[in-house]
Amino acid sequence: MADDAAALRGNWNYPTLMRFGVGRIAELPEACKQLGMKRPLIVTDPGLAALPMIKEAVQRNEAAGLETALFADIKGNPIGKNVEDGLKKYRAGGHDGVVAFGGGSALDAGKAIALMAGQTRPIWDFEDVGDNWTRVNVAGIAPIVAVPTTSGTGSEVGRVSVITNETTHQKKLIFHPKIQPSIVISDPALTVGLPAKITAATGMDALAHCLEAYCVPSYHPMADGVAVEGMRLIKDWLPVAVKDGKNLTARAHMMAAATMGATAFQKGLGAIHSLSHPVGAIYDTHHGLTNAVVMPYVMQFNRAAIEAKMARLAAWLELKNPSYTAVLDWVLALRKEIGIPHTLKEIGVDKARLDELSQAAYEDPSTGGNPVPIGAADLKKMFVASIDGQL
């Protein structure tokens, strides 16, 4: 018993202040002022920048006496130059805070710009490796309000920004506890216009976060509890949100589930993300979609280590004959129902760069949390299975 008890330890944090509910985007000026902002910079993506919700947010801030500017020159998988360009605009405009407004790309870019506002080192010096985060000049981090408009990444409550180094074609996890936004405004109405395909892909991203966090072998029962309830919400409401994008109840539950996934994965991630990150960096695929495609192949690889946990999960999800097989069958059926491709080949990934992908996956920080210890050769097997559709 002593050996078992010695493993029951961890450092846990759940600090984010969230304003959740339909219509709460009206509170954006108040949230900015609460953090001392007078000249916020809204960071979003080009698609959202053209929509009324962004124009209304700027107007609402201006009416409250907040001089607000907009930066939207970011890619779907943000690159270092996007952060550099945003930082130039931030400094040139004399801004004093960031409103990261959008999906995962906007949230990650906005957080990275806020981080870099008062730094002298290059952003890559803050990659989530060892104690690199201690290099950050904490006083130089700008305050952040996050406004998610998709239900997937959960980046609004995360302490990491995923930025692609365009020189090395590697996704880097930029980490510091203080880039976790201080205030989050989660308004499900902002997700109503999300196309069905993006609703599906981002919803599966939330599932990947919950599933991998739950499977990480370290001790964190709070994260496990959040993860399994997040998966129950996804099971019940993702198909509804995909079929009826105007259903605000479904949108609200999926927005909560996405946040829950990112809250849970402070415990860690695994090979789903190890595979997905280099694929996104090299082939520029959608992150949530890539996670969705590789998910069952990683589950199969990890089966021996997660079988008991999957049986408990299946019971919580009220699946028939609770077991690992029940969960796998549910994942496969869910993917089919909402239109997720079965193989990486279907989203443009071939075997030409397998060795490069496998090595990058092995070096990804997510690899350490996988339930089964893995090397590059193991990851290559998972890539081949995911490309060929071999379960």
The arithmetic mean of pLDDT across residues 232-243, rounded, is: 98
Q: What is the pLDDT of residues 353-389, one digit of tens each?
A: 999 999 999 999 999 999 999 999 999 999 999 999 9
The arithmetic mean of pLDDT across residues 252-267, rounded, is: 95
What is the C-alpha separation between 383 and 378, in angstroms, rounded? 9
For the cut 50, the answer to whether the pLDDT of residue 257 exceeds it is yes
Answer CATH for 196-388 from 1.20.120.530, 2.60.40.10, 1.10.150.20, 1.20.1090.10: 1.20.1090.10
pLDDT for position 13: 67
CATH 1.20.210.10: does it fit domain 17-191?
no
The arithmetic mean of pLDDT across residues 102-113, rounded, is: 96
Give which of 286, 281, 51 is closest to 147, Cα–Cα: 51
Name the band, by pLDDT with cuts 50, 70 and 90, for residue 15. Answer: confident
pLDDT for position 82: 98
Going from N- to C-terminal start, the domains of the chain cover 17-191, 196-388
Phi-psi domain of 389 (left: phi exceeds 0; alpha: psi -120 through 50; beta: other): left
Q: What is the pLDDT of residues 184-207, one digit of tens each?
A: 999 999 999 899 999 999 999 999
What is the C-alpha separation between 39 and 41, in angstroms, rounded? 7
Q: b/e string for 116-148 if b means 16 or more Cβ within 10 A?
A: bbebeeebeebbbeeebbeebeeeebbbbbbbb
What is the C-alpha separation between 177 and 12, in angstroms, rounded? 12
For the cut 70, the answer to whether the pLDDT of residue 5 exceeds it is yes
Q: What is the pLDDT of residues 31-79, one digit of tens each?
A: 999 999 999 999 999 999 999 999 999 999 999 999 999 999 999 999 9
Distances in whole angstroms, Cα of residue 17 to Cα of each of 14, 179, 186: 9, 14, 11
Name the band, by pLDDT with cuts 50, 70 and 90, for residue 212. Answer: very high
What is the C-alpha separation between 362 and 149, in angstroms, rounded? 32
Tell me, yes or no, if the pTM score tops 0.75. Answer: yes
For the cut 50, the answer to whether the pLDDT of residue 1 exceeds it is no
The arithmetic mean of pLDDT across residues 309-322, rounded, is: 98
Distances in whole angstroms, Cα of residue 348 to Cα of each of 198, 351, 381: 17, 10, 18
The arithmetic mean of pLDDT across residues 330-340, rounded, is: 98
Collapsing DSSP states into helix, strand and coil, what is residue 61? helix
Name the band, by pLDDT with cuts 50, 70 and 90, for residue 14. Answer: confident
DSSP state of 17: E
Contact 333, 325 (CB under 8 A): no
What is the C-alpha separation between 385 and 391, in angstroms, rounded? 7
Q: What angle do CA 195, 83, 95 make, to 5 degrees?
A: 100
Q: What percent of the chain has pLDDT over 70?
A: 99
DSSP string of 209-241, one letter each residue: HHHHHHH--S--HHHHHHHHHHHHHHHHHHHHH
Contact 340, 257 (CB under 8 A): no
Q: Which residues pair with 171 in a beta bridge?
A: 164
What is the C-alpha separation between 198 and 258, in angstroms, rounded? 14
